[in-house]
Amino acid sequence: MIMHDSLAQFIEGEWVSARNGLAGPVVNPATGQEIGRVPFATTDDLDRALMAAERGFKVWRAMLPIDRANIIRKIALLLRQQADAIAQVMTLEQGKPLAEARVEVAATVELTEWLADEGRRIYGRLVQSRVPNTRTFVAHEPVGPVAAFSPWNFPCMMPGRKIAHALAAGCSIVLKPAEETPGTAMLLGKICESAGVPKGVVNIVFGEPAKVSEYLIRSPVIRKVTLTGSTAAGRHIGRIAGEEFKKCTLELGGHAPAIVFDDANLDQTVSLSVTSRFRNAGQVCTSPSRFFVQEAVFEKFVEAFTSASAAIVVGDGADPKSKMGPLANVRRRDAMEAFVENAMSGGARLRAGGRRIGNRGYFFAPTVLTDLSPDAAVLTNEPFGPVTPIVPFKTFDDALTEANRLPYGLAAYCFTTSQSRSARFAETINAGVVAINGMTVTAPEGAFGGVKDSGIGRESGAEGLLEYTNVKTITETYG
């Protein structure tokens, strides 16, 4: 199936190809076959997008918050109405099962709706004056045009989140989505267009990530940078943004620990853990990717987790029977093989999976490893795929030490019926988002982001929206 013969960029309200005709392949990960060509922006294209965003910002900022909110709500409405079509494109170019793709669109709708209303609640404050006949105000103002960079693992939610934050704060945006998943981003652009977003407020470009990112960030037009991506990409983006004194939000990689104590409800814990671990084939930055299980229940947990993992139906995401699709690209499949090979060379025990599936596409079996060497790569490096290490521990302190050992700090999970354990875990774990006896760490109302090498800044919640504003203090003398 050919997806798009006319993939294009969205610049100042027009759909355009790259001026030099350069383009890259878009591949269906279930088959490995090319399904389209995505245009790569030239510097002329980027300049045009930047100028459009500068003009668009002036228009969008001048609109009343309630009028902006109505347009953002229209975006959410159109997303909901077109959910099936968006999900099909997402599955075709990214691989996830259709059911997961529909859930992703629904989550994007919820966040967009919430931000539409939250944009009307960007309040300032009146400060008590030190002198007579004087008032001091602290106000939040839109920061300006935003350069946004989104990944391929959530092709709707990640670009949709960045568009919604920018629009709700009164900013324009130049978005560079992942070249692997351009079709979903294009549909978001078309929805913005149909919802009545003024020309130039939302612009979408594609191209070589390093070149496009540096060109956009160094432009004086851009006043805010936001990236969801790897820690390596975050260091590069953050370094450039720092040199240019641009506000920056970086949501980066993680290697989330999940600690299972001996008093946990094992049936519920295993069910939640397997579902969360292999969602999107493990290509989730908040995925529980390192399991630490107390010795008394270790074997019981491993047996149940392994049995449930082996029973997962892996196949083309377009097949309703599939519960896990392919990895998004050949790089991730090769990386999974390398993790397993490294672990096995160190004496690990393969409990399930550990192999490719089929002779086409990028499928890899849900994999469970135990008896790992402490220096196994999968315990130190984020696998970002369906390879799961499970390690026993004796005491709370042993588990916490290992959980906090890595430089990452995005998500963390704990399963226990002890309130003192859960409270201590929440206080001492180094992570930006924490779940206890559950796997939910994101919601429109809650701030989302990491610490340490997992990033800076927040998205979602009031805190996330204010990242797209500047603070201005105004002192007025009267009388």
Cα 406 from Cα 399, distance rounded (Å): 13
In contact, 430 and 454? CB cutoff 8 Å: no
Handedness of CA 314, 316, 320, 323 (dihedral sign): positive
Number of H helices and E strands in the chain, helices first, is: 15, 20
In contact, 260 and 293? CB cutoff 8 Å: yes
Q: What is the DSSP letter of 133?
A: T
Active site residue 285: yes
Q: Which helix (H) or strand (E) holds 476?
A: strand 469-477
In contact, 213 and 232? CB cutoff 8 Å: no
Region of residue 207 (left: phi > 0; alpha: psi -120 to 50; beta: else): left
In the beta sheet, which residues pair with residue 256?
288
Please give the structure tokens belonging to residue 77: 């409405």
**Would strands 367-370 and 247-251 be described as parallel, antiparallel, or unpaired?**
unpaired
DSSP alpha helix (H) spans, 119-228:
157-169, 182-195, 209-218
How far is CA 132 from each of CA 149, 295, 348, 467, rounded to the nearest angstrom?
48, 68, 74, 33
Q: 156, 171, 248, 285: which one is catalytic?
A: 285
Active site residue 251: yes
Q: 251, 382, 459, 467: which one is catalytic?
A: 251
Cβ within 8 Å of residue 101, ≥6 positions away: 86, 87, 88, 90, 91, 94, 156, 317
Active site residues: 251, 285
